[in-house]
Structure 1
């Protein structure tokens, strides 16, 4: 039996050629905007001295997670510096932050629109399914064709690959807000915008932050793959190890990626969780509680 050829590949080629022929100025404008964001974040991160950056990350880890994780963060970052991969790690971090910021700016409003309209959800869900199930390497082809090689196409491919979780979990979080909260807000005369900003988003924040956390993790995995089109960073180290069959180089690059993933995961998770008081805050909380529990003498 002869195989059918529906010409889907030829149709995709025709669409790409049409876009290149008629929308090149728009593509250049998009590339310029994304390049401005990516280059700005990269310049800011790579311009910070290593010890200063380690101190900032350690303080952030201490504030959000605890002293044990702060010690781990310092040791892990110094390990990366000792392997000579600090600059490449900061390049990877800049790509992750740029892609995540763009994904949040696009994804959170889209998730809100999906939560408010079943029609928008009906249209958006198949697109999100396609974005999540398409192999990651496939995104590199149109990104490279439309935007060339470098950090810009890598960022664009990363945004497309990593955006679905924040869209889906924003939609889910807002839809799961209790009707009693919404009815109470309406009873107090909240406008739809006030209801969204003061009732729905605060109650949906844990779900939204979980979506942002997953977007960051997917961004990190994709920027490593995007090194194949010149995105740079730790992906170049891993790619060099693969090309040369150099186990040591590949292991160092992979270890640095794992460390960065753990740091980003634990810190971003903490923003969506209610943490019990620890350290001095716990001591003050206990003392205040004991003082409040003591009966007042006449």
Structure 2
């Protein structure tokens, strides 16, 4: 007995459709490629500036500034001391420059994700229609294989920092959007009613009530965005993004076990430092919020 076959598009029609879409995208990249490169040029300049600042400055000065910044954010000398020791070990094994490049990439990607993601999350919290429109897009962004993001950006920008930056931001931005939306929606209705009773406008409620109370949840979203940015570093190295991801990719291609493990552990060290620092800051915000209630 013959099995009932699933109806499929004919190979000729499928090939024609693919050629049409690919041709239209190529025409788009040729027509608008230079314009898009000019739009994203400031981001490349910012990333290059931070990289050069971290790499060309004396390592002891960079280490002192990073330790001071970590302590100011976390207010924990244990986290600051552990971060210093981890970075000293990374530098001792000759991975300082690649580590600084990775930190610069993650910092810029996180900054872009926060600047774009928090306003989108606020709009989703304020509008159910906006929430219904954006949520499926976020679902697609989080389930799409990370390698797929590289295809369109490479076709438009070629190899280099800008396509890697865009791919990392697209991959890492959903958590900060989702948790900003969640944090604002979780603000107790009676708190909002009290603010309305005092004559607060919508903007005043958002600025003075909702955002402060949602900050711990937003910080959790930023934490996840940082982690996802680091996870994308190795993938982005395939299109020319320099940093700890390139030695890992080289180790995979040439079967260098030690190189891959050492650079992988350096990425883990950065992830732990950033995770502990942002978590400590989030806990401080949580305590401050609970004390203010």
Taking structure 1 as the reference length, the TM-score comes to: 0.87
Q: Is 1:58 the counterpart of 2:67 in the alignment?
A: yes
> Hey, what does 2:252 align to over in structure 1?
242
> CA 1:97/1:122 → structure 2, altered by over 3 Å: closer, same or farther?
same
> CA 1:118/1:238 → structure 2, altered by over 3 Å: closer, same or farther?
same
> Hey, what does 1:22 align to over in structure 2?
31
How does 1:1-298 map onto structure 2 within 5 Å?
A: 1=5, 3-4=8-9, 7=14, 9-10=18-19, 12-63=21-72, 64-274=74-284
Q: Which runs of 5+ in 1 are unaligned?
A: 278-298
Taking structure 2 as the reference length, the TM-score comes to: 0.88
Q: Which runs of 5+ in 2 are unaligned?
A: 288-293
> Hey, what does 2:290 align to over in structure 1?
none
> CA 1:200/1:10 → structure 2, altered by over 3 Å: closer, same or farther?
farther
User: Which secondary structure state, in structure 1, belongs to the residue aligned with residue 284 of structure 2?
Assistant: coil
> CA 1:87/1:243 → structure 2, altered by over 3 Å: closer, same or farther?
same
Deviates more, 1:240-249 or 1:2-11: 2-11
After superposition, what is the alpha-carbon deviation per residue over 1:10-50, rounded to whole angstroms, capped at 9, x for unaligned?
45424422421432243122331321221222222223321
Cα distance in 1 for residues equivalent to 2:193 and 2:286? 30
User: Which secondary structure state, in structure 2, belongs to the residue aligned with residue 23 of structure 1?
Assistant: helix
Q: Aligned-pair RMSD on alpha carbons?
A: 2.0
Deviation (angstroms), 1:58: 2.6
Deviation (angstroms), 1:52: 1.7
Deviation (angstroms), 1:167: 0.4
Cα distance in 2 for residues equivalent to 1:96 and 1:88? 12
Deviates more, 1:19-28 or 1:113-122: 19-28
> Hey, what does 1:288 align to over in structure 2?
none
> CA 1:35/1:242 → structure 2, altered by over 3 Å: closer, same or farther?
same
Deviation (angstroms), 1:171: 0.5
Cα distance in 2 for residues equivalent to 1:176 and 1:32? 38
The answer as to whether partners of 1:162 and 1:218 remain within 8 angstroms in 2 is yes
The answer as to whether partners of 2:178 and 2:221 remain within 8 angstroms in 1 is yes
Cα distance in 1 for residues equivalent to 2:272 and 2:111? 19
Cα distance in 1 for residues equivalent to 2:130 and 2:39? 25
The answer as to whether partners of 1:155 and 1:223 remain within 8 angstroms in 2 is no
Deviation (angstroms), 1:9: 4.2
The answer as to whether partners of 1:38 and 1:152 remain within 8 angstroms in 2 is no
After superposition, what is the alpha-carbon deviation per residue over 1:219-239, rounded to whole angstroms, capped at 9, x for unaligned?
111122100000110011111
Cα distance in 2 for residues equivalent to 1:33 and 1:120? 30
